[in-house]
Amino acid sequence: MNIIRDPRAMQRECEALRQAGKRIAFVPTMGYLHEGHLSLLREARRRGDVLVLSIYVNPTQFGPKEDLGRYPRDEAGDLAKAESCGVDLAFVPQNLYPEGFQTYIAVRELEQPLCGASRPGHFIGVATVVAKLFQLVRPHVALFGRKDYQQLAIIRRMVRDLDFDIEIVGMPIVREPDGLALSSRNAYLEGDERQRALCLSRGLAAARDLFAGGERDTKKLTAAARAQVEQGATRVDYVEIRDAESLAAVERVERPCVIAIAAFVGTTRLIDNDILEA
Ligand code: AMP
């Protein structure tokens, strides 16, 4: 496995691989890798000749009061896991933003609801860094987890809108055996918070059960989910059902929809979601 830290060196290396006719599969991450990330890497390994991983805790997607400073890091552990998944190139830049940086990408409608409403600027940071990484790696295919559902929708939109010639693959949410969605931020959970964090997946299960029984009213479905989330959460940010593609608000689930939850358990902000297939 080749570890590259310099953006220009990364760009040169990937361009040479592309010129040599290699199909490049790319998995961008912020590191502190867990089985969710590794599931993306394993699938990417199957989909490309060259497997590229990036590890970069992107400052522009964190708000001023968010956890940038304490975001968990374990570069040595990450690189060992990457190697075991067959990563060829690990891109671990120190900084991706040149002096005077001022160019941002806004996916203007999709970034408004859900996490965008409580994390202003977050998705501008995400879209911008992903676009930059795409420019450096120029992958043929890039894989993202559905865990970050709105992020995946935004990246799909950006790729279409800005003519990136990249196939975007969305991957299922990997969970702990008890249902908790894997997240690097789970490392923040202390004491009973780990148990309380199950309130998110339990909320999704409650809505899913009601939906399976024929309920289609968004208010009733979200109320059932919210009741579960409130059992464990310190504060509920949102419980919402929206159109799975446009993320538009819906009153009834009559097309594929996403039910998305964000809640604080202690000081840790957790997200989870599920698709309701109408
Ligand atoms: P992050 O390091 O949090 O930026 O995540 C990097 C990629 O891994 C993103 O595409 C995430 O959606 C994906 N990911 C994170 N957690 C999970 C999970 N539990 N299951 C599947 N994919 C995940």
Cα–Cα distance for residue pair 81/86, rounded to 1 Å: 9
pLDDT at position 183 over 90: yes
User: What is the 36 CA–ligand 1 centroid distance (Å)?
Assistant: 6
In short, whether 253's Cβ falls inside 6 Å of ligand 1 is no
Which protein residue has the closest C-alpha to ligand 1 atom 14? 145
Q: Which atom of ligand 1 is closest in space to residue 33's alpha carbon?
A: 2
Cα–Cα distance for residue pair 225/204, rounded to 1 Å: 6
- Per-residue pLDDT, averaged over 209-234, amounts to 98
Q: Which atom of ligand 1 is closest in space to residue 182's alpha carbon?
A: 19
Percent above pLDDT 90 for the chain: 100
Residues 243-275: pLDDT tens digits? Answer: 999 999 999 999 999 999 999 999 999 999 999
- Per-residue pLDDT, averaged over 6-16, amounts to 98
C-alpha distances in angstroms, 138 versus 20, 50, 53, 113, 258?
14, 12, 13, 30, 30
Question: Strand 235-243 relative to strand 257-265: parallel, antiparallel, unpaired?
Answer: antiparallel
Would you tell me the crossing angle of helices 218-232 and 198-212 to the nearest 10 degrees? Answer: 150
pLDDT at 196: 98
pTM (2 d.p.): 0.98
Cα–Cα distance for residue pair 264/268, rounded to 1 Å: 5
- pLDDT band at 230, cuts 50/70/90? very high
In short, whether 122's Cβ falls inside 6 Å of ligand 1 is no
Residues 13-52: pLDDT tens digits? Answer: 999 999 999 999 999 999 999 999 999 999 999 999 999 9
Residue written as token pair 């003519």? 163
pLDDT at 278: 83
- Per-residue pLDDT, averaged over 219-224, amounts to 98
pLDDT at position 157 over 90: yes
Question: What H or E segment, with its residue span, contains residue 269?
Answer: strand 268-276
User: What is the 37 CA–ligand 1 centroid distance (Å)?
Assistant: 5
DSSP 26-69: EEEE-SS--HHHHHHHHHHHHH-SEEEEEE---GGGS-TTSSGG
Name the average pLDDT for the chain: 98
Handedness of CA 59, 64, 66, 72 (dihedral sign): positive
pLDDT at position 144 over 90: yes
